Amino acid sequence: LIDSAIAARQDSAVTNIPQAPSIITRDFVFDYLIVGAGFSGSVIAERLATQSGKKVLVVDKRNHIGGNAYDHYDEHGVLVHRYGPHIFHTNSREVFEYLSQFTQWRSYEHRVLASIDGQLLPIPINLDTINKLYGMNLNSFQVEDFYKSLAQPREYIRTSEDVVVSKVGQELYEKFFRGYTRKQWGLDPSELDKSVIARIPTRTNRDDRYFTDTYQAMPLHGFTRMFEKMLNHPNIKVMLNTDYQEIEKAIPCREMVYTGPVDEFFDYRFGKLPYRSLDFKHETHNKEVFQSAPVINYPNEQLYTRVTEFKYLTGQEHSKTSIVYEFPKALGDPYYPVPRPENQEVYKQYKALADATPGVYFVGRLATYKYYNMDQCVAQALSVYKQIPVRA
């Protein structure tokens, strides 16, 4: 449209016909097109709009904002996370203070049990886990010696198997990690980067919290309310149910921030990057409490990896309770980049291409192919925003 209008104007100039005042100009309606309304896209949109006075169009192909952190009230009125349990935790004061502009918080420390040999035991493995599993009564010093007696030291810690076996030996590795990881990733821990299982520490004390970060809290009214506040600004327009490719030609923007899968952006030029997916099976039960912990992991039984009961996370009081089962799968919506060296090699090629693509910023878990938690996405987005040379 714009090109033909300009061509028509040029034609009229050549033939000396007086020009009608044109209503179509090359001025951009939006400065930035932001692809994806998850943490990464929403943070950058908020910063560009409020700090730099830029006009921003956020598009998401889903029918809601919030990306994978989206939560909503289900048909029974229970607040649930559509894409599995999301627990906020961070050591970054900057990230916590930034998000605190858009939400109040409810203090929440996450705890997880693992179903092992017919018992429900604390994971990360701690002193109580070992005492219950083996019917012992060790103290912290003794359990440290116990781990040492089981550990099989390895010269190099390269894979996720190395991480566990070198610390606590083969048996605990088999009971707690091997089966879960094979289910979750479709790969043996020996085929996965050490960083994956290194997310889970081993403890000699009785601390049974899943995370030990300084800030651990849930948005008081849920993640989606928080995103609504972030995006509620006259300079921000949100368009849902829209793939950016449907509108990028019709609505020109000066620059783009892209938070979708990086390989898709480049039409899989270097092949597909594997992203692990999940099926979520949501259920509501006609009782107040379903299980004895917010999350129960099933390393060795069942086809699902874990079961989450949302009311523990949200603090909601309700006569019914809603839960979700997670069934891992290879294909489907991309949820997890798969950290292993061969994938990193392919990603490097995409990264080089991304770096050489002017006017497009690649941000977030899918676009930078990083197994990032929410807070890491916020930190990355804030840092990318600071690097954007914002023109007047």
Q: Is 278 a binder of ligand UDP (CB under 6 A)? A: no
69 contact, one of ligand FAD, ligand UDP, none, CB 5-8 Å limit per kind: ligand FAD
Return the number of the residue (143 or 196) whose C-beta is nearest ligand FAD. 196
Of 231-260, binders to ligand FAD (CB under 6 A) are: 243-244, 259-260
Question: Which residues fall within 8 angstroms of residue 166, CB to CB, at 6 or more apart?
Answer: 151, 152, 153, 154, 157
Question: Which residues fall within 8 angstroms of residue 155, CB to CB, at 6 or more apart?
Answer: none
Question: Which residues fall within 8 angstroms of residue 377, CB to CB, at 6 or more apart?
Answer: 38, 39, 40, 43, 363, 364, 365
* Cα separation, 327 vs 335, whole angstroms: 12
Please give the helix or strand (H or E) that residue 7 lies within, else none: helix 2-14
Return the number of the residue (142 or 343) whose C-beta is nearest ligand FAD. 343
Q: How many residues bind ligand UDP (CB under 6 A)?
A: 13
Q: Is 36 a binder of ligand UDP (CB under 6 A)? A: no
* Cα separation, 146 vs 137, whole angstroms: 12
Please give the helix or strand (H or E) that residue 265 lies within, else none: helix 262-265
Sole binder of ligand UDP in the list 96, 147, 176, 369 (CB under 6 A): 176
* Cα separation, 143 vs 147, whole angstroms: 6
Closest separation between CB of residue 114 and ligand UDP, Å? 5
181 contact, one of ligand UDP, ligand FAD, none, CB 5-8 Å limit per kind: ligand UDP
Sole binder of ligand UDP in the list 8, 187, 200, 360 (CB under 6 A): 200
Q: State CA 65 to chain mean position distance.
A: 14
Sole binder of ligand FAD in the list 32, 83, 347, 361 (CB under 6 A): 83
Please give the helix or strand (H or E) that residue 258 lies within, else none: strand 253-258
Query: Residue 34: which of 65, 2, 69 has the closest Cα?
Result: 65
Closest separation between CB of residue 140 and ligand FAD, Å? 28
Q: Is 337 a binder of ligand FAD (CB under 6 A)? A: no
Q: Is 126 a binder of ligand UDP (CB under 6 A)? A: no
362 contact, one of ligand FAD, ligand UDP, none, CB 5-8 Å limit per kind: none
Q: Is 33 a binder of ligand FAD (CB under 6 A)? A: no
Q: How far apart are the first and last CA of the chain?
A: 26
Q: Is 346 a binder of ligand UDP (CB under 6 A)? A: no
Q: Which residues bind ligand FAD (CB under 6 A)?
A: 35-41, 59-62, 67-69, 83-87, 243-244, 259-260, 278, 335, 364-366, 372-375, 377
Note the residues at the interface with ligand UDP (CB under 6 A): 114, 123, 176-177, 180-181, 184, 196-197, 199-200, 297, 299
